[in-house]
Structure 1
Amino acid sequence: MIVRSTAILVLWIVFSYPVFSQQTITEHKADSNTLLSAFSKGKIKGHVRYFFMGTDNEKNLTDYYAHATGGGLNYRTASFRGFRLGMGGFLIFNSGSSDFMKPDPSTKQYNRYEIGLFDIENPSNKRGINRLEELYISYGWQKSSITIGRQLINTPFINPQDGRMRPTFVEGAWLNTTLKKVKLDAGLLWGISPRSTARWFTIGNSMVVYPQGVNESGNPSDYKGYISSRFIGLLGIHFAVNPKLKWQVWNQLTDQVSNTLLIQGNLQLGESENNHYYTAIQLISQQRMGNGGNDDPAHRYIEKNSTSLSFGLQLGWKQKNQDISLNYTRITKQGRFLMPREWGREPLFTFLPRERNEGFGDVQALLLLHKKQYGETGFQSQIGFGYYQLPDVLNTRLNKYGMPSYTQLNIDLQYDLSKYWKGAQLAFLYVYKSQKGNSYYNDKYVINKVNTSLFNLILNYRF
């Protein structure tokens, strides 16, 4: 009932806003330092989104498709003595899709991608899926700000990962501050609403929304509802040695589960911003904390004595309108690199949309990436081709999701339609993944994973 009332209120604001805002701003513009003025001079932003997604699997395996439409509003007050209030919500409708409740007949596997456009917890829901995404108070001073409540943040491991209808939001306290050459990000989180969901979760419960894969013994993982984790603590330090050399260090502590450290350095080689070479290095180290999520080994997220170590290297050449890079990632044999996929995309240099290397150890990956902007046309492209050598699908100690080695081709095209329709953007993403590892004639290692084409067409309108 509360959610329905909120939706009605949001729709009322949409249709009444032009008249309402004009009246309030006219009547109360005298004192810009009053609380009433802060509300009347607040800004409302809107977003309408259409998303088509389709999966073309191997012959004799089930194909899928989905059409999703949605819209939402975001309101933020003007500053009142440094304080601001903000809130926002979004509604999603399933406007035509495959039957996500029906598994593939031969493998008994369910849909993987299209279901993520809606509520992954309730795949049969084709009516309005709504979520109160933002509700916060912030305070800003000099080069600093602190925000408390439901909000968006962007860190290496917790980020919007906006590859479906809506991104991942968090609930907590988030601080940004700058001290001379050092920029600090710090936060304490106690709630997460992952993308592809319609509700908010505690930290422990937010880790078990997506498929859990298998444990190191090869049995289905069974940690849903069993992970005891109350908070996430994050600290990010950004330090510019000079305009060309920059370092960042991130530490993420997940209560009773893990501690993850990321160190990354970026170096520009050359004087010109419009024509130079660049390089970057990356290290990610992860250790288990506490009981790994649960005292019972059958319900743990991370096994006892589990550690993970990965390295990354990037070499690139950037011109005014294009960027070409060669990227390498090595995850060692020490153990699986684990980070809940519900929280965001991984920060590996070799990441390509629609696949992850989280959940694996003993990985070698190589990615060639080309980005280009075509003058003032509003058109840009990003083409990537990567090779991902993973452990054998039967090596369950290092392969959590039964994914064989593969190559991946991404063609990502985006067109800014502002010249014709202000605030509109059209995007098309094509992905093809080709199998390179052994699947032992078992199609459960193939369907929705390799030898598959993915089609994505997205239209965004922001106002």
Structure 2
Amino acid sequence: MKYFIVFLLFIGTVSHIFAQHQDLSEKPNIWNNISSKRDSSIILNAFKFGQINGHFRYFFSLTDNAKTLRDYYAEAIGGGLRFESAQFYNFNIAVSGFYIFPLKSANLFEKDAITGQGNRYEIGLFDVNAIDQLEEINRLEEFFVQYNLKKGFVKFGRQLLNTPFINLQDGRMRPTAVQGFWTEYKLNTSHQLSGGWINAIAPRSTKDWFSNAESIGLYSVGVDISGKKSAYKGQVASDWVGMFNYKYAKDKNFQFDVWYMYTENISHNLLTQWEKKLTSRWKGLYYGVQVASQWKSGNGGNIDPTLAYNQNNRPVYIFGAQIGYKKGGFNQSLSINRINSGGKYLMPREWGRDYFYTFMPRERNEGFGDTKSAVYKIQYLKPKKFQTTLSVGYFSMPDVKNFALNKYGLPTYGQLNVDFRYYFKGALSGLESQALYVYKKNIGDTYDDSKYIFNKTDVHLFNLVLNFKF
């Protein structure tokens, strides 16, 4: 707990925080940019009237493991620029890039002496593919051409995307980016269609761009159904991803979504989601329901089952629900989620975070089957520049030795998140500070094997992040 005291003293000097993850219903606007609607018949003016945005980011991360296991810490700082032109005959372009410098850190390449396992969280501030030393990272994130319609747009190139399946997962230095095309079109005030095709990805915590297949396995691969280390890294055959969304929003109080994603030769994913805000005497009450399914496509990634990413033989079904109440400055909710025992829910972690209502930063339920989870969250939202969130979750996982349903050896656990946010005003406008404390408590059977504890449970996590955007 010595690290906990140091962390509290540290964050006391910089106040409170800005959100760790963009909500999946939001547009991927991490630059705070506003696209110019001005159109010109002169290409020079399209560039003159364009917009430049900047972003500087500092990130401190610390992992305090159980007493006999290794701890880690790291600091990173970076900055980037984004330019988006005004329109030229309805066309506009955008380009952005970011540079990351390592500051002070523990030896993130030194493995724990007891488990033989390496660092999990801090290496994510840099390039997870680094072998023996941290290096400066520069990355081109966006480079696209967009054609603007009266009721939508079509975008080609490298871009940021925020969907339930592929999303920013922006809880480190930089988000995940994709290459392909994406379109959105409003049929009328209530109905909207969107979708696209993706053939390359730059995952969070990497400096390069990869084909879809190459990106799968850059993070931890876990174990296969036999309990051996998964061997699919570099062996997956999958050329493209297609995605479609239909959205019905009668008004601000009701929304219905259908999402479908086809990952060629790996899987089909279907998600339906209903969300409703009640009015009149029940004003402030809201609820949502998620029903999803996933089933294998082709051979799951490789004709050899031992090298396939998706080894499930049956469909996986998911059910989630949320009920909440928002009044005054408080917003509280209770969420549940259930993944059935047909197989493991599989979605490359390199592509994004879980879309479940029960998602809590610093852990996921991807890679597991036969899970039950419940999360209670309470937020204080006033004044707008200051927000505090307390989340408590219980996650029932399959036995750590049930390899067919537990890919990452994660036992049943409880999780506590304390999240502070502060948006500066006045002379410091543009500055956002954030602090996050996470504790994960082991509840399941670990068979006295520390590899099921290290970086997973009985662990304290501390993050301090400063953002300046202009």
Question: TM > 0.5 between the two?
Answer: yes
- Indicate if the aligned counterparts of 1:166 and 1:195 stay in contact, CA closer than 8 A: yes
Rounded Cα–Cα distance in structure 2 between residues aligned with 1:243 and 1:39: 36
1:363 paired residue number:
371
Correspondences of 1:86-101 after superposition (within 5 Å) = 86-101=94-109
The question of 1:209 aligning with 2:230 is answered no
2:120 paired residue number:
112
2:433 paired residue number:
426
The question of 1:279 aligning with 2:283 is answered no
Correspondences of 1:290-309 after superposition (within 5 Å) = 290-303=298-311, 305-309=313-317
1:33 paired residue number:
41
The question of 1:385 aligning with 2:392 is answered yes
Q: CA deviation at 1:373?
A: 1.3
TM-align CA RMSD: 1.4
Summarize deviations over 1:111-132 as a string: whole Å, max 9, x none. Answer: 0000000000015443321111
Summarize deviations over 1:126-173 as a string: whole Å, max 9, x none. Answer: 332111111100011111101100000110010001100000000000
The question of 1:232 aligning with 2:249 is answered no
Q: CA deviation at 1:307?
A: 1.9
Summarize deviations over 1:322-361 as a string: whole Å, max 9, x none. Answer: 2110000011111111101111111101000000000001
Q: CA deviation at 1:33?
A: 2.8
Rounded Cα–Cα distance in structure 2 between residues aligned with 1:249 and 1:297: 31
Correspondences of 1:218-367 after superposition (within 5 Å) = 218-241=227-250, 243-271=252-280, 275-303=283-311, 305-367=313-375
Supply the AA of the counterpart residue of 1:67: E
2:130 paired residue number:
122
Rounded Cα–Cα distance in structure 2 between residues aligned with 1:244 and 1:403: 38
Aligned to 1:438, which of 433, 441, 445? 445
The question of 1:406 aligning with 2:419 is answered no
Supply the AA of the counterpart residue of 2:367: G
Rounded Cα–Cα distance in structure 1 between residues aligned with 2:42 and 2:281: 47
**Cα 1:84/1:324, change in 2 over 3 Å:** same
Rounded Cα–Cα distance in structure 2 between residues aligned with 1:272 and 1:304: 47
The question of 1:55 aligning with 2:71 is answered no
Larger radius of gyration: 1
Rounded Cα–Cα distance in structure 1 between residues aligned with 2:215 and 2:315: 22
**Cα 1:429/1:272, change in 2 over 3 Å:** farther
2:423 paired residue number:
416
Q: CA deviation at 1:243?
A: 4.5
1:12 paired residue number:
none
Supply the AA of the counterpart residue of 1:460: N
Q: CA deviation at 1:60?
A: 1.0
Q: CA deviation at 1:188?
A: 0.3
- Indicate if the aligned counterparts of 1:307 and 1:336 stay in contact, CA closer than 8 A: no
Q: CA deviation at 1:242?
A: 5.0
Matched position secondary structure for 1:37 = helix
The question of 1:46 aligning with 2:86 is answered no
- Indicate if the aligned counterparts of 2:181 and 2:196 stay in contact, CA closer than 8 A: yes
Matched position secondary structure for 1:217 = coil
Segments of 4+ moved more than 2 angstroms: 123-127, 240-245
Q: CA deviation at 1:195?
A: 0.2
Matched position secondary structure for 2:287 = strand
Supply the AA of the counterpart residue of 1:62: R
Summarize deviations over 1:416-447 as a string: whole Å, max 9, x none. Answer: 11334121000000000000001111000001
Q: CA deviation at 1:69?
A: 0.3
- Indicate if the aligned counterparts of 1:115 and 1:123 stay in contact, CA closer than 8 A: no
Rounded Cα–Cα distance in structure 1 between residues aligned with 2:458 and 2:133: 30
Summarize deviations over 1:60-79 as a string: whole Å, max 9, x none. Answer: 10000000000011111111
Rounded Cα–Cα distance in structure 1 between residues aligned with 2:393 and 2:145: 42
Rounded Cα–Cα distance in structure 2 between residues aligned with 1:141 and 1:302: 39
The question of 1:161 aligning with 2:169 is answered yes
Where structure 1 has 5 or more consecutive residues not aligned to the other structure, the ranges are 1-30
Q: CA deviation at 1:305?
A: 2.1
Please give the TM-score of this superposition, normalised by the length of structure 2.
0.90
The question of 1:131 aligning with 2:136 is answered no
- Higher relative contact order at CA 8 Å, sep ≥6: structure 1 or structure 2? 2
Rounded Cα–Cα distance in structure 2 between residues aligned with 1:191 and 1:63: 35
Supply the AA of the counterpart residue of 2:135: R
Matched position secondary structure for 2:428 = coil
State how many pairs are aligned: 431
Please give the TM-score of this superposition, normalised by the length of structure 1.
0.91
Supply the AA of the counterpart residue of 1:393: V
Rounded Cα–Cα distance in structure 2 between residues aligned with 1:201 and 1:126: 20
Supply the AA of the counterpart residue of 2:285: Y
Rounded Cα–Cα distance in structure 1 between residues aligned with 2:142 and 2:388: 31
Where structure 2 has 5 or more consecutive residues not aligned to the other structure, the ranges are 1-38
Rounded Cα–Cα distance in structure 1 between residues aligned with 2:439 and 2:127: 25
Q: CA deviation at 1:293?
A: 0.2
Matched position secondary structure for 2:278 = strand
Question: Does 408-417 or 239-248 show the bigger shift?
Answer: 239-248
